[in-house]
Structures are given as C-alpha cells and as structure tokens.
Structure 1
Amino acid sequence: MPVIAVTGHLDLTPATARAVRAALDALLAARPAAELTGVSCLAPGADTLFADAVLARGARLVAVLPGPAYPDPQATAAERAAFERLRAAAHRVLVLPAPLLDPAAYVAANEELLRLADELIAVWDGGPGNGPGGTADMVAAARAAGLPVHVLWPPGSARTGG
C-alpha cells in the first residue's frame, strides 16, 4: 500500500494553486484510492492542496504536526479553518513534541514524513529554499534516502512571495 508524502511552497498564486490541484488529481487518479495513504503536515499551500486531493479520492490521510502549538499563531483565519477541517478528516494525526515551531520542529516533521513515506510529491519551483525544514531541504533529504521524488511545478506557476 503506497504512502505518499508531500512537501511544497506555502505561497502559491491562485492560478498556480488551481494548476497544482489539477496536477495532483491527475497523479493520484492513477492509484486506487483503497491502496493509497497521503501524509501531510497540513500547512497552507501545497500541503493543503495535497490533503484535499487525497481525501477527494477517498484515500486515507495521515497528518504529521510539528508540535502542539501548530499551526503557527500567525496563520490567517482561512488557513486555520482549512487546517482544522483537514485535521478532523484525517484518519490519523501524529503530533510531535516540539515546544516551539522553529526550524528544528519542521526538520523533525519532515523526518517523520520521510520515515512513513514510500515516495514524495514536491510542489517546488526548484529554488534553493529557506534552509532547514523547507521544501528544498525536504527534497534533498528524500533523494538522499533514495525515495522517488515527483516534482510538480506546472508551466507558468508562480509564488506570491517572489
């Protein structure tokens, strides 16, 4: 039973989010829902799009949360509502013990995602990233571990942050 983890950018433009969701739907459609488990930290952007796509297929969702204070207190009301909806729909929720949501907490969450996963989907523009715990860091760790990595960055995609 394949377990697919996700990593990706938080700051997708609306058009990019629509294109990524379509690409996720197409990628997941090739897999029987009864044999699929998706693993996500339920962050805004790529993680949320992936979790919604997994649930829309009728597959299982496992949430890995970096710490009990997650999501970040600076999350918008819409981000917090999406997080709560997905957390409630998850088949399993793993809450890691990090007391602070710092880079180490996100690195630990990524390590748990990779421990559970058979492959990784990365919604990633290929950039160098923001350091430990970020998308580029996660892709490098997955490749170093020998996991297959599927990079999704549809033509014309952009981030709101740059």
Structure 2
Amino acid sequence: MRLGITGHRGLPEQSEKLVRAALQREVQRHRPDDLVGVSCIADGPDSWFAQAVLDHGGRIEVVIPASSYREGLPAWHHATYDELLQRAAEVHRTGLDESTSEAHMAGSEILVGLVDELVAVWDGQPARGYGGTADVVAYAERNGVTARVLWPEGATRD
C-alpha cells in the first residue's frame, strides 16, 4: 500500500497531539512490509506521518518540490528534514528551483501520482493559498485517488 500525506502546518500543540495519534492509528492499519509512505516531509503532518511509517517498519519516499524547498522550511525543522530525507528509499523531484506555491502544488501532484490513497490532515475548509490542503485533496479526487481525511475531534487550526 502506497500512502501519501498532505495536511495543515502550524497546528497548535493540542491539535498536534491529536493529529499525531490519528496518524499513528492510520499507519498501523497497514502491514509494515507492504507500506510505503510518500511525503514532502515539511514540518507538521508531513514529517509526523513519515516518522510514523518508519517507526511502524514501513519505507518512505520523499517528494522535493523545489531545490530551495528546505531553506523555506523553519530552521528548527531542518535536522528532522535531513534525517527523514536520508532514510528515504527513493527521492522524487519536480525539477523546479524556487520554492513557491506553484512548486508545492507540483510536488503534491507528483505525490498524488505515486500513491494508492492520500491521507489528508484537513479541517475541511478552503485552502488559504494556492497549493493548500484543500487543493491537494481536490486534485487527488479529480485523479481517482481516494483522500482519507483525518481531522480528530477537538483539533483546531488556529
């Protein structure tokens, strides 16, 4: 089973706890020897999911939206990003340089094309900018990839 991840970044601490637990439950539904998690490994749900897949004994593949993507992530996340990238069984790149909303959406489109199902940490609201979680869910559904929404009871975005 090839699972992809998309989701809201910058969640409050209480929501992070709820989402991490939900992601672990989702990952544990699958046999580790069959599980490949595909992620852009940004801070938040992307990296929590990738780590959960690895902890469960699965493999990860990473999609890098742009060559400058890492620099656009928070500095405190760089060590986690680097570690997850090193543990990736395969790395996919868009070929783009600048880390823009368009590059992020291009990365998400590649991710959707690689998976059987998309896990979306999504509050159900419209995207706040191009390439947001709602856009990725809509793209997946247009392309026949099931999006499994995880938004635990009690989770908030702001």
TM over 0.5: yes
Deviation digits for residues 74-103 of structure 1, max 9, x if unmatched? x33321111111111111112221121112
Deviation digits for residues 27-60 of structure 1, max 9, x if unmatched? 1112100001000000111101111111111101
Query: 1:107 maps to which residue?
Result: 105
TM-score, length-normalised on structure 1?
0.92
Q: Residues of 1 paired with 2:144 and 2:91: CA distance?
A: 26
128-137 or 4-13, which deviates more: 128-137
Count of equivalent residues? 158
CA shift for structure 1 position 114? 0.8
Query: 2:76 maps to which residue?
Result: 78
98-107 or 33-42, which deviates more: 98-107
Query: 2:38 maps to which residue?
Result: 39
Query: 1:56 maps to which residue?
Result: 55
Question: Which of structure 1's runs of 4+ aligned residues deviate more than 3 A?
Answer: none
Secondary structure of the residue aligned to 1:4 is strand
TM-score, length-normalised on structure 2?
0.95
Unaligned runs of 5+ in 1: none
Q: Residues of 2 paired with 1:15 and 1:86: CA distance?
A: 24
Query: 1:156 maps to which residue?
Result: 154
Query: 2:14 maps to which residue?
Result: 15
Deviation digits for residues 141-160 of structure 1, max 9, x if unmatched? 1111121111111111122x
Q: Conserved in 2, the CA contact under 8 Å of 1:17 and 1:49?
A: no
Q: Residues of 1 paired with 2:51 and 2:76: CA distance?
A: 15
Q: Conserved in 2, the CA contact under 8 Å of 1:71 and 1:80?
A: yes
Query: 1:144 maps to which residue?
Result: 142
Identity over aligned pairs, percent: 39
